[in-house]
Structure 1
Protein backbone atom coordinates (compact mmCIF):
# COMPACT_ATOMS: atom_id res chain seq x y z
CA UNK A 1 0.00 0.00 0.00
CA UNK A 2 1.34 3.41 -0.93
CA UNK A 3 2.31 5.81 1.85
CA UNK A 4 2.82 8.73 -0.52
CA UNK A 5 1.11 11.85 0.79
CA UNK A 6 -1.66 12.94 -1.60
CA UNK A 7 -1.28 16.48 -2.89
CA UNK A 8 -4.30 17.78 -0.98
CA UNK A 9 -2.77 16.55 2.30
CA UNK A 10 0.82 17.65 1.80
CA UNK A 11 0.26 21.07 3.36
CA UNK A 12 -1.04 19.69 6.65
CA UNK A 13 0.97 20.79 9.66
CA UNK A 14 2.40 17.80 11.50
CA UNK A 15 4.27 19.80 14.13
CA UNK A 16 3.48 18.99 17.77
CA UNK A 17 2.46 21.63 20.32
CA UNK A 18 5.35 24.03 21.04
CA UNK A 19 7.60 23.65 24.06
CA UNK A 20 5.79 26.47 25.86
CA UNK A 21 2.55 24.49 25.81
CA UNK A 22 4.34 21.24 26.66
CA UNK A 23 5.81 22.87 29.77
CA UNK A 24 2.33 24.11 30.59
CA UNK A 25 1.31 20.50 31.15
CA UNK A 26 2.97 20.84 34.56
CA UNK A 27 -0.32 22.40 35.71
CA UNK A 28 -1.68 18.86 35.73
CA UNK A 29 0.23 18.41 39.00
CA UNK A 30 -2.25 20.83 40.56
CA UNK A 31 -5.29 19.68 38.56
CA UNK A 32 -5.00 15.98 39.40
CA UNK A 33 -5.19 16.27 43.22
CA UNK A 34 -8.41 18.29 42.95
CA UNK A 35 -9.94 15.72 40.63
CA UNK A 36 -8.81 12.78 42.73
CA UNK A 37 -10.29 14.33 45.83
CA UNK A 38 -13.67 15.05 44.31
CA UNK A 39 -15.09 16.06 40.95
CA UNK A 40 -18.18 18.14 41.77
CA UNK A 41 -21.44 16.87 40.30
CA UNK A 42 -23.77 19.48 41.79
CA UNK A 43 -25.96 21.14 39.17
CA UNK A 44 -25.17 18.54 36.52
CA UNK A 45 -27.97 16.57 34.82
CA UNK A 46 -28.72 13.13 36.19
CA UNK A 47 -28.10 10.09 34.03
CA UNK A 48 -30.59 7.49 32.85
CA UNK A 49 -28.51 4.49 33.91
CA UNK A 50 -27.12 3.57 30.51
CA UNK A 51 -23.63 2.07 30.26
CA UNK A 52 -20.63 4.32 29.65
CA UNK A 53 -17.19 2.86 28.89
CA UNK A 54 -14.26 5.19 29.52
CA UNK A 55 -11.13 4.37 27.51
CA UNK A 56 -7.75 5.60 28.85
CA UNK A 57 -5.10 7.45 26.92
CA UNK A 58 -1.76 6.11 25.74
CA UNK A 59 0.29 4.72 28.63
CA UNK A 60 -2.63 4.90 31.07
CA UNK A 61 -5.01 2.30 32.44
CA UNK A 62 -8.34 2.26 34.24
CA UNK A 63 -6.84 3.72 37.40
CA UNK A 64 -6.24 6.99 35.54
CA UNK A 65 -9.89 7.34 34.45
CA UNK A 66 -11.28 6.62 37.93
CA UNK A 67 -12.09 10.26 38.83
CA UNK A 68 -14.29 10.69 35.77
CA UNK A 69 -15.92 7.29 36.14
CA UNK A 70 -16.73 7.84 39.83
CA UNK A 71 -18.35 11.18 39.01
CA UNK A 72 -20.44 9.56 36.26
CA UNK A 73 -21.49 6.82 38.67
CA UNK A 74 -22.68 9.47 41.13
CA UNK A 75 -24.73 10.97 38.32
CA UNK A 76 -26.46 7.65 37.74
CA UNK A 77 -24.56 6.02 34.88
CA UNK A 78 -23.20 2.48 34.75
CA UNK A 79 -19.67 3.76 34.16
CA UNK A 80 -16.96 1.19 33.48
CA UNK A 81 -13.29 1.14 32.58
CA UNK A 82 -12.09 -0.50 29.41
CA UNK A 83 -10.66 -3.50 31.29
CA UNK A 84 -7.68 -4.00 28.97
CA UNK A 85 -4.79 -2.93 31.18
CA UNK A 86 -2.38 -0.25 30.04
CA UNK A 87 -3.13 1.36 26.69
CA UNK A 88 -0.04 0.84 24.55
CA UNK A 89 -1.88 0.95 21.24
CA UNK A 90 -4.67 -1.05 19.69
CA UNK A 91 -4.01 -4.77 19.45
CA UNK A 92 -6.30 -7.24 17.71
CA UNK A 93 -7.17 -9.00 20.97
CA UNK A 94 -7.99 -5.68 22.65
CA UNK A 95 -10.24 -4.60 19.80
CA UNK A 96 -12.06 -7.93 19.74
CA UNK A 97 -12.57 -7.90 23.51
CA UNK A 98 -13.98 -4.36 23.47
CA UNK A 99 -16.20 -5.12 20.50
CA UNK A 100 -17.66 -8.16 22.26
CA UNK A 101 -18.17 -6.19 25.46
CA UNK A 102 -20.03 -3.39 23.68
CA UNK A 103 -22.28 -5.93 21.96
CA UNK A 104 -23.01 -7.70 25.26
CA UNK A 105 -23.80 -4.48 27.14
CA UNK A 106 -25.99 -3.17 24.34
CA UNK A 107 -27.93 -6.42 24.26
CA UNK A 108 -28.43 -6.37 28.03
CA UNK A 109 -29.12 -2.73 28.94
CA UNK A 110 -29.21 -0.74 25.69
CA UNK A 111 -26.80 1.26 23.58
CA UNK A 112 -23.47 2.17 25.13
CA UNK A 113 -21.77 5.56 25.22
CA UNK A 114 -17.99 5.66 24.72
CA UNK A 115 -15.76 8.31 26.28
CA UNK A 116 -12.15 8.16 25.08
CA UNK A 117 -9.25 10.15 26.47
CA UNK A 118 -6.47 10.94 23.96
CA UNK A 119 -5.60 7.71 22.08
CA UNK A 120 -8.59 6.09 23.76
CA UNK A 121 -10.81 8.46 21.81
CA UNK A 122 -9.33 7.25 18.52
CA UNK A 123 -10.27 3.71 19.51
CA UNK A 124 -13.75 4.80 20.65
CA UNK A 125 -14.54 6.27 17.24
CA UNK A 126 -13.45 3.11 15.44
CA UNK A 127 -15.42 0.87 17.79
CA UNK A 128 -18.49 3.01 17.09
CA UNK A 129 -17.81 2.85 13.36
CA UNK A 130 -17.83 -0.93 13.54
CA UNK A 131 -20.97 -1.21 15.70
CA UNK A 132 -23.05 1.97 15.22
CA UNK A 133 -26.25 0.22 16.27
CA UNK A 134 -24.73 -0.64 19.66
CA UNK A 135 -23.15 2.75 20.40
CA UNK A 136 -25.25 5.66 21.62
CA UNK A 137 -22.64 8.41 21.30
CA UNK A 138 -18.88 9.07 21.33
CA UNK A 139 -17.08 11.76 23.32
CA UNK A 140 -13.37 12.26 22.70
CA UNK A 141 -11.08 14.13 25.12
CA UNK A 142 -7.99 15.64 23.51
CA UNK A 143 -7.84 12.88 20.89
CA UNK A 144 -5.74 13.10 17.68
CA UNK A 145 -8.60 12.38 15.27
CA UNK A 146 -8.14 14.77 12.33
CA UNK A 147 -5.66 16.88 10.35
CA UNK A 148 -2.41 15.00 11.11
CA UNK A 149 -1.90 11.84 13.20
CA UNK A 150 1.64 12.70 14.32
CA UNK A 151 1.14 16.26 15.63
CA UNK A 152 1.77 15.10 19.17
CA UNK A 153 4.60 15.23 21.67
CA UNK A 154 4.04 11.52 22.44
CA UNK A 155 5.08 10.26 19.00
CA UNK A 156 8.60 9.22 20.04
CA UNK A 157 7.35 7.38 23.14
CA UNK A 158 4.65 5.66 21.09
CA UNK A 159 7.31 4.37 18.69
CA UNK A 160 9.35 3.01 21.59
CA UNK A 161 6.31 1.11 22.89
CA UNK A 162 5.48 -0.20 19.41
CA UNK A 163 8.75 -1.34 17.76
CA UNK A 164 6.95 -2.61 14.67
CA UNK A 165 5.45 0.82 14.02
CA UNK A 166 7.48 2.37 11.19
CA UNK A 167 6.23 5.91 11.63
CA UNK A 168 4.98 5.99 8.03
CA UNK A 169 1.48 7.40 7.67
CA UNK A 170 -1.10 5.44 5.74
CA UNK A 171 -2.91 8.54 4.52
CA UNK A 172 -5.68 6.62 2.81
CA UNK A 173 -6.56 4.86 6.07
CA UNK A 174 -6.19 8.05 8.10
CA UNK A 175 -8.49 10.07 5.87
CA UNK A 176 -11.11 7.32 6.16
CA UNK A 177 -10.82 7.55 9.95
CA UNK A 178 -11.11 11.35 9.91
CA UNK A 179 -14.78 11.13 9.04
CA UNK A 180 -16.82 10.71 12.20
CA UNK A 181 -18.64 7.42 12.76
CA UNK A 182 -22.41 7.51 12.16
CA UNK A 183 -23.33 8.33 15.77
CA UNK A 184 -23.41 11.66 17.67
CA UNK A 185 -19.79 12.69 18.26
CA UNK A 186 -18.49 15.40 20.59
CA UNK A 187 -14.81 16.35 20.52
CA UNK A 188 -13.61 18.06 23.71
CA UNK A 189 -10.29 19.85 23.33
CA UNK A 190 -8.08 22.34 25.12
CA UNK A 191 -6.61 25.21 23.04
CA UNK A 192 -3.56 25.05 25.32
CA UNK A 193 -3.04 21.28 25.05
CA UNK A 194 0.68 20.58 25.28
CA UNK A 195 0.54 16.92 24.18
CA UNK A 196 -1.71 16.83 21.10
CA UNK A 197 -2.07 19.83 18.78
CA UNK A 198 -5.52 21.29 19.39
CA UNK A 199 -6.23 21.53 15.65
CA UNK A 200 -6.08 17.73 15.49
CA UNK A 201 -8.53 17.18 18.34
CA UNK A 202 -11.56 18.63 16.56
CA UNK A 203 -14.14 16.77 14.52
CA UNK A 204 -14.75 17.76 10.93
CA UNK A 205 -18.01 19.71 10.45
CA UNK A 206 -21.01 17.44 10.06
CA UNK A 207 -24.62 16.90 11.10
CA UNK A 208 -23.60 14.59 13.95
CA UNK A 209 -20.42 16.33 15.19
CA UNK A 210 -19.55 19.18 17.52
CA UNK A 211 -16.38 20.60 19.08
CA UNK A 212 -16.19 22.02 22.59
CA UNK A 213 -13.19 23.90 23.98
CA UNK A 214 -12.33 23.66 27.69
CA UNK A 215 -9.66 25.10 29.94
CA UNK A 216 -7.02 22.76 31.31
CA UNK A 217 -4.15 20.43 30.53
CA UNK A 218 -4.19 17.34 28.37
CA UNK A 219 -2.76 15.15 31.13
CA UNK A 220 -5.58 15.88 33.60
CA UNK A 221 -8.60 15.88 31.26
CA UNK A 222 -10.26 13.00 33.10
CA UNK A 223 -9.95 14.96 36.37
CA UNK A 224 -11.19 18.28 34.97
CA UNK A 225 -14.56 19.67 36.18
CA UNK A 226 -15.04 21.58 32.89
CA UNK A 227 -14.66 18.31 30.98
CA UNK A 228 -17.04 16.55 33.36
CA UNK A 229 -19.72 19.17 32.71
CA UNK A 230 -19.47 18.74 28.93
CA UNK A 231 -19.51 14.94 29.23
CA UNK A 232 -22.47 14.94 31.65
CA UNK A 233 -24.53 17.30 29.52
CA UNK A 234 -23.97 15.23 26.36
CA UNK A 235 -24.60 11.88 28.02
CA UNK A 236 -27.91 13.22 29.34
CA UNK A 237 -29.20 13.95 25.83
CA UNK A 238 -31.91 11.59 24.55
CA UNK A 239 -30.78 8.56 22.61
CA UNK A 240 -31.35 8.78 18.89
CA UNK A 241 -34.27 6.83 17.49
Structure 2
Protein backbone atom coordinates (compact mmCIF):
# COMPACT_ATOMS: atom_id res chain seq x y z
CA UNK A 1 0.00 0.00 0.00
CA UNK A 2 2.85 2.38 0.89
CA UNK A 3 4.53 1.67 -2.44
CA UNK A 4 1.27 2.41 -4.29
CA UNK A 5 0.81 5.75 -2.47
CA UNK A 6 4.44 6.65 -3.15
CA UNK A 7 4.06 5.89 -6.87
CA UNK A 8 0.89 8.00 -7.06
CA UNK A 9 2.60 10.92 -5.32
CA UNK A 10 5.58 10.62 -7.68
CA UNK A 11 3.30 10.68 -10.73
CA UNK A 12 1.47 13.75 -9.41
CA UNK A 13 4.75 15.53 -8.73
CA UNK A 14 6.02 14.74 -12.20
CA UNK A 15 2.84 16.02 -13.83
CA UNK A 16 3.03 19.24 -11.82
CA UNK A 17 6.63 19.77 -12.89
CA UNK A 18 5.75 19.21 -16.54
CA UNK A 19 2.76 21.56 -16.39
CA UNK A 20 4.85 24.14 -14.58
CA UNK A 21 7.51 23.94 -17.25
CA UNK A 22 4.87 24.32 -19.94
CA UNK A 23 3.49 27.43 -18.25
CA UNK A 24 6.95 28.85 -17.81
CA UNK A 25 7.78 28.29 -21.47
CA UNK A 26 4.72 30.32 -22.48
CA UNK A 27 5.46 33.26 -20.16
CA UNK A 28 7.31 35.15 -22.89
CA UNK A 29 4.26 35.18 -25.17
CA UNK A 30 1.45 37.59 -24.41
CA UNK A 31 -1.93 36.02 -25.18
CA UNK A 32 -5.01 38.14 -25.67
CA UNK A 33 -8.26 37.07 -24.07
CA UNK A 34 -10.54 35.46 -26.62
CA UNK A 35 -13.76 35.92 -24.59
CA UNK A 36 -15.50 33.11 -26.46
CA UNK A 37 -18.92 31.71 -25.61
CA UNK A 38 -19.72 28.28 -27.02
CA UNK A 39 -23.41 28.89 -26.26
CA UNK A 40 -23.43 31.75 -28.80
CA UNK A 41 -24.95 29.79 -31.69
CA UNK A 42 -24.65 32.54 -34.38
CA UNK A 43 -20.94 32.86 -33.53
CA UNK A 44 -20.46 29.08 -33.87
CA UNK A 45 -22.26 29.09 -37.22
CA UNK A 46 -20.04 31.88 -38.53
CA UNK A 47 -16.97 30.10 -37.18
CA UNK A 48 -17.94 26.91 -39.02
CA UNK A 49 -18.33 28.92 -42.22
CA UNK A 50 -14.91 30.52 -41.85
CA UNK A 51 -13.28 27.18 -41.05
CA UNK A 52 -14.56 25.31 -44.10
CA UNK A 53 -13.80 28.26 -46.40
CA UNK A 54 -10.34 29.24 -45.15
CA UNK A 55 -8.90 26.37 -43.08
CA UNK A 56 -10.30 23.08 -44.29
CA UNK A 57 -8.29 23.08 -47.50
CA UNK A 58 -5.37 21.89 -45.35
CA UNK A 59 -6.68 21.13 -41.85
CA UNK A 60 -9.20 18.43 -40.97
CA UNK A 61 -11.53 17.89 -38.03
CA UNK A 62 -11.44 14.12 -38.32
CA UNK A 63 -13.04 13.50 -34.90
CA UNK A 64 -16.16 15.49 -35.83
CA UNK A 65 -19.09 14.66 -38.08
CA UNK A 66 -21.07 17.14 -40.12
CA UNK A 67 -24.44 16.00 -38.78
CA UNK A 68 -23.29 16.33 -35.15
CA UNK A 69 -22.24 19.90 -35.85
CA UNK A 70 -25.55 20.51 -37.62
CA UNK A 71 -27.47 19.38 -34.54
CA UNK A 72 -25.40 21.39 -32.07
CA UNK A 73 -25.34 24.53 -34.21
CA UNK A 74 -29.03 24.54 -35.04
CA UNK A 75 -28.55 23.74 -38.74
CA UNK A 76 -30.43 21.31 -40.95
CA UNK A 77 -28.58 18.57 -42.78
CA UNK A 78 -29.59 20.20 -46.05
CA UNK A 79 -27.96 23.47 -44.97
CA UNK A 80 -24.79 21.61 -44.01
CA UNK A 81 -24.65 19.74 -47.32
CA UNK A 82 -25.11 22.92 -49.35
CA UNK A 83 -22.86 25.23 -47.35
CA UNK A 84 -20.25 23.23 -45.45
CA UNK A 85 -19.44 20.08 -47.41
CA UNK A 86 -17.03 20.57 -50.31
CA UNK A 87 -15.15 17.25 -50.26
CA UNK A 88 -15.84 13.99 -52.06
CA UNK A 89 -15.56 10.37 -51.01
CA UNK A 90 -13.45 7.62 -52.59
CA UNK A 91 -16.08 7.12 -55.31
CA UNK A 92 -15.99 10.78 -56.32
CA UNK A 93 -19.40 11.50 -54.82
CA UNK A 94 -20.02 14.43 -52.44
CA UNK A 95 -19.66 13.41 -48.80
CA UNK A 96 -22.88 12.86 -46.89
CA UNK A 97 -23.86 14.63 -43.69
CA UNK A 98 -22.80 11.67 -41.56
CA UNK A 99 -19.19 11.73 -42.80
CA UNK A 100 -16.20 12.75 -40.75
CA UNK A 101 -14.87 16.25 -41.48
CA UNK A 102 -11.76 15.22 -43.38
CA UNK A 103 -10.10 17.32 -46.05
CA UNK A 104 -9.14 16.33 -49.57
CA UNK A 105 -5.39 16.88 -49.32
CA UNK A 106 -3.29 13.77 -48.70
CA UNK A 107 -0.78 13.57 -45.88
CA UNK A 108 1.97 12.63 -48.35
CA UNK A 109 1.35 15.58 -50.66
CA UNK A 110 0.97 18.08 -47.84
CA UNK A 111 4.22 16.90 -46.22
CA UNK A 112 6.02 17.35 -49.56
CA UNK A 113 4.55 20.81 -50.20
CA UNK A 114 4.78 22.27 -46.70
CA UNK A 115 7.59 20.25 -45.14
CA UNK A 116 5.17 18.63 -42.70
CA UNK A 117 1.50 17.65 -42.96
CA UNK A 118 -0.88 20.27 -41.51
CA UNK A 119 -2.15 19.07 -38.13
CA UNK A 120 -5.68 17.90 -37.48
CA UNK A 121 -7.42 20.65 -35.48
CA UNK A 122 -10.05 18.55 -33.74
CA UNK A 123 -8.44 18.99 -30.32
CA UNK A 124 -6.54 22.25 -30.74
CA UNK A 125 -9.11 24.05 -28.60
CA UNK A 126 -8.26 21.76 -25.68
CA UNK A 127 -4.51 21.39 -26.24
CA UNK A 128 -3.73 25.05 -26.96
CA UNK A 129 -6.67 26.90 -25.45
CA UNK A 130 -8.95 29.61 -26.81
CA UNK A 131 -6.63 32.50 -25.99
CA UNK A 132 -3.75 30.87 -27.87
CA UNK A 133 -5.81 30.30 -31.04
CA UNK A 134 -7.20 33.83 -30.93
CA UNK A 135 -3.80 35.43 -30.41
CA UNK A 136 -2.13 33.21 -33.00
CA UNK A 137 -4.56 34.21 -35.77
CA UNK A 138 -3.85 37.88 -35.06
CA UNK A 139 -0.07 37.56 -34.81
CA UNK A 140 1.04 37.02 -38.42
CA UNK A 141 3.47 39.52 -39.89
CA UNK A 142 5.44 39.86 -43.12
CA UNK A 143 8.80 38.08 -43.10
CA UNK A 144 10.50 37.64 -46.51
CA UNK A 145 12.97 35.15 -45.03
CA UNK A 146 10.24 32.58 -44.43
CA UNK A 147 9.06 30.18 -47.18
CA UNK A 148 5.47 31.47 -46.95
CA UNK A 149 6.54 35.09 -46.60
CA UNK A 150 5.10 35.42 -43.10
CA UNK A 151 6.03 34.67 -39.52
CA UNK A 152 4.12 34.66 -36.25
CA UNK A 153 4.92 36.13 -32.84
CA UNK A 154 2.93 33.46 -30.98
CA UNK A 155 4.34 30.54 -33.03
CA UNK A 156 7.77 31.63 -34.31
CA UNK A 157 8.92 30.19 -37.65
CA UNK A 158 5.51 28.71 -38.35
CA UNK A 159 5.18 26.96 -41.70
CA UNK A 160 1.58 28.01 -42.25
CA UNK A 161 0.66 30.87 -44.61
CA UNK A 162 -1.56 33.67 -43.35
CA UNK A 163 -4.77 32.44 -44.96
CA UNK A 164 -6.80 35.40 -43.65
CA UNK A 165 -4.46 38.12 -44.91
CA UNK A 166 -7.04 39.41 -47.37
CA UNK A 167 -9.36 40.11 -44.45
CA UNK A 168 -6.82 41.45 -41.96
CA UNK A 169 -4.23 42.93 -44.28
CA UNK A 170 -0.46 42.68 -43.80
CA UNK A 171 1.39 43.54 -40.62
CA UNK A 172 5.05 44.31 -40.00
CA UNK A 173 7.01 43.68 -36.83
CA UNK A 174 8.74 46.71 -35.35
CA UNK A 175 11.11 46.31 -32.40
CA UNK A 176 12.90 48.81 -30.19
CA UNK A 177 15.51 48.27 -27.51
CA UNK A 178 15.56 49.93 -24.12
CA UNK A 179 18.68 49.90 -21.98
CA UNK A 180 22.21 48.88 -22.79
CA UNK A 181 24.33 45.74 -22.76
CA UNK A 182 23.03 42.77 -20.79
CA UNK A 183 20.21 44.89 -19.38
CA UNK A 184 18.78 45.78 -22.78
CA UNK A 185 15.11 44.86 -23.21
CA UNK A 186 13.53 44.51 -26.63
CA UNK A 187 9.93 45.56 -27.15
CA UNK A 188 8.15 44.52 -30.34
CA UNK A 189 4.76 45.41 -31.76
CA UNK A 190 2.87 44.63 -34.93
CA UNK A 191 1.76 47.48 -37.16
CA UNK A 192 -0.72 47.20 -40.01
CA UNK A 193 1.00 48.44 -43.18
CA UNK A 194 -1.49 47.18 -45.77
CA UNK A 195 -5.17 47.20 -44.75
CA UNK A 196 -7.37 44.27 -45.63
CA UNK A 197 -11.00 44.17 -46.62
CA UNK A 198 -12.10 44.38 -42.97
CA UNK A 199 -11.56 46.88 -40.20
CA UNK A 200 -9.66 45.78 -37.10
CA UNK A 201 -12.85 45.20 -35.02
CA UNK A 202 -14.44 43.23 -37.88
CA UNK A 203 -11.37 41.02 -38.24
CA UNK A 204 -11.24 40.50 -34.47
CA UNK A 205 -14.81 39.20 -34.61
CA UNK A 206 -13.94 36.80 -37.43
CA UNK A 207 -11.05 35.39 -35.41
CA UNK A 208 -13.21 35.21 -32.28
CA UNK A 209 -15.92 33.27 -34.17
CA UNK A 210 -13.32 30.89 -35.62
CA UNK A 211 -11.78 30.42 -32.17
CA UNK A 212 -15.21 29.81 -30.67
CA UNK A 213 -15.94 27.10 -33.23
CA UNK A 214 -12.60 25.32 -32.65
CA UNK A 215 -13.15 25.54 -28.90
CA UNK A 216 -16.56 23.89 -29.30
CA UNK A 217 -15.15 21.18 -31.63
CA UNK A 218 -12.52 20.28 -29.03
CA UNK A 219 -15.22 19.36 -26.51
CA UNK A 220 -18.76 19.29 -28.00
CA UNK A 221 -20.23 17.72 -24.85
CA UNK A 222 -19.45 20.93 -22.96
CA UNK A 223 -22.48 22.50 -24.64
CA UNK A 224 -24.79 20.29 -22.60
CA UNK A 225 -22.60 19.15 -19.71
CA UNK A 226 -23.05 22.31 -17.65
CA UNK A 227 -26.83 22.08 -18.02
CA UNK A 228 -26.77 18.45 -16.88
CA UNK A 229 -24.67 19.47 -13.89
CA UNK A 230 -27.21 22.10 -12.81
CA UNK A 231 -30.05 19.55 -12.92
CA UNK A 232 -27.97 17.03 -10.96
CA UNK A 233 -27.18 19.60 -8.26
CA UNK A 234 -30.85 20.61 -8.02
CA UNK A 235 -31.84 16.95 -7.70
CA UNK A 236 -29.25 16.36 -4.98
CA UNK A 237 -30.44 19.46 -3.13
CA UNK A 238 -34.06 18.31 -3.25
CA UNK A 239 -33.04 14.77 -2.24
CA UNK A 240 -31.08 16.18 0.72
CA UNK A 241 -34.24 17.91 2.01
CA UNK A 242 -36.27 14.68 1.83
CA UNK A 243 -33.39 12.71 3.37
CA UNK A 244 -33.20 15.16 6.28
CA UNK A 245 -36.91 14.91 7.13
CA UNK A 246 -36.80 11.13 6.67
CA UNK A 247 -33.90 10.97 9.11
CA UNK A 248 -35.85 13.06 11.65
CA UNK A 249 -38.92 10.85 11.29
CA UNK A 250 -36.86 7.67 11.63
CA UNK A 251 -34.91 8.77 14.74
CA UNK A 252 -37.65 10.64 16.65
CA UNK A 253 -38.71 7.55 18.61
CA UNK A 254 -35.08 6.69 19.43
CA UNK A 255 -34.31 10.12 20.89
TM-score by length of 2: 0.26
Name the one with the larger helix percent. 2
TM-score by length of 1: 0.27
- Structure number with larger C-alpha Rg: 2
With a CA cutoff of 8 Å and minimum separation of 6, indicate the structure with the bigger relative contact order.
1
